[in-house]
Structure 1
Amino acid sequence: MTNDTIIAATQDWLEKAVIGLNLCPFAKAVHVKKQIRYVVSSATTEDVLFDELIAELRRLQAADPDEIDTTLLIHPYVLTDFLDYNDFLDAVDIATAEPEFNDAFQVASLHPQYQFAGTELDDIENYSNRAPYPTLHLLREASVDRAVDAFPDADRIPDANIEMLKKLGHEGWEKLGLIK
């Protein structure tokens, strides 16, 4: 599995599911403008991944938002179990709250086994956050705020995603040629 293969699978998922199904109405603009940074981590431990997360937050902080507005930190070799991944999100929250980042970032969680609390593993609504590989999506708070301000009923997005995914069903998801 090469980094190019991993990035290609992630971009395919982004185009077919996230943008194609409009799971995130904000994704298309940064994708079209090529403002998404794709990073494949070689980390095999949580400590190394954490260090890479800090480095990527610093890189994003230093970057011109017109060049890099968001980063997908894909980590296929660590935290492949969703419960371990979910536990790691506490460390992610601590990292983004560090004074050097001044609450300028948030991280969205994506995982091939993603499961929302109160759902069964195979419930279709979990697929809204199921990326091909464990991924930390680093977002600038300022960009999120602008997108939410420009989008009517942004707080309705999760419910709309659930409705759409239930209509699509597992069969429709499989027809997209995406991970199951």
Structure 2
Amino acid sequence: MQTSPNSIDHHDNSVIAETQAWIEKAVIGLNLCPFAKAVYVKQQIRYVVSAANDVALLAAELEAELLALQAADPAKTDTTLLILPDTLGDFFDYNDFLTVADNLVEELELDGDIQIASFHPDYQFAGTLADDIENYTNRSPYPILHLLRETSIARAVEAFPEAEMIFEKNMETLRKLGHRGWQELDLKPKTR
């Protein structure tokens, strides 16, 4: 099946809009990441919708995005979200790919410069049940590889001295919110 460039643009725009709605309403709205608001407001997030439909193509795209982030001016692009609408829909396959991603960071000698955070619609922490509300701290509308500069993380941690408490605070926030509260966030993008 062929798609026209217009349908690809529409698809990508839709995927990005859903991702931005999640960032606005869940990540920033629930303060799951106290560092997210600044880069979001300053428009320093690069959104890349992956065209990959297999892990080999995804690894090539990830390599290109890691190198692009390293070369980018941090004042313009502080972080990258590589959004995967057509691959790694299964959380366990996604989780396995994280090893490939981390190995790629090392191969490119970017460890210490860039790290990868993980988000997935079916995210599940070890030792939890699939539907435990705590898992929703890392649940996104699509599988996402979040490429972060280590220097940005260090600055954020310095500005937020209790950074090690974020994880526990997020768990508590989600427990109070509950499944019904999560559903009521209405993470769909606003229509204009």
Q: Which TM bucket (shorter chain)?
A: over 0.9
Bigger CA radius of gyration? 2
Q: Which residue of 1 is the match for residue 85 of structure 2?
A: 76
Query: Take 2:139 and 2:109, find their aligned partners in 1: how far apart are those partners?
Result: 30
Alignment of 1:43 onto 2:52: yes
What is the RMSD computed on CA atoms of the aligned residues?
1.1
Query: Take 2:116 and 2:103, find their aligned partners in 1: how far apart are those partners?
Result: 11
Residue identity (%): 61
Contact 1:115 1:121 in 2 (8 A): yes
Gaps of 5+ in 1: none
Give structure 1 regions of 4+ aligned residues with deviation exceeding 3 angstroms.
none
Alignment of 1:146 onto 2:150: no
Alignment of 1:127 onto 2:139: no
- Could you tell me which of 118, 129, 148 is aligned with 2:127? 118
Residue 100 of structure 1, CA deviation = 3.7
Alignment of 1:61 onto 2:70: yes
- Could you tell me which of 84, 94, 106 is aligned with 2:115? 106
Residue 97 of structure 1, CA deviation = 1.4
Q: Which residue of 2 is the match for residue 24 of structure 1?
A: 33
The one-letter amino acid of 2:187's match is L
The TM-score, its normalising length taken from structure 2, stands at 0.91
The TM-score, its normalising length taken from structure 1, stands at 0.97
The one-letter amino acid of 1:22's match is N
Gaps of 5+ in 2: 1-9
Residue 41 of structure 1, CA deviation = 0.4
The count of aligned residue pairs is: 179
Q: Which residue of 2 is the match for residue 158 of structure 1?
A: 167
The one-letter amino acid of 2:98's match is L
Query: Take 1:87 and 1:11, find their aligned partners in 2: how far apart are those partners?
Result: 26
Query: Take 1:45 and 1:99, find their aligned partners in 2: how far apart are those partners?
Result: 21
Residue 118 of structure 1, CA deviation = 0.4
Q: Which residue of 2 is the match for residue 89 of structure 1?
A: 98
1:97 aligned counterpart, secondary structure: helix
Go from structure 1 to structure 2 and tell me whether the alpha carbon gap of 1:46 and 1:144 turns closer, same or farther (over 3 Å shift).
same
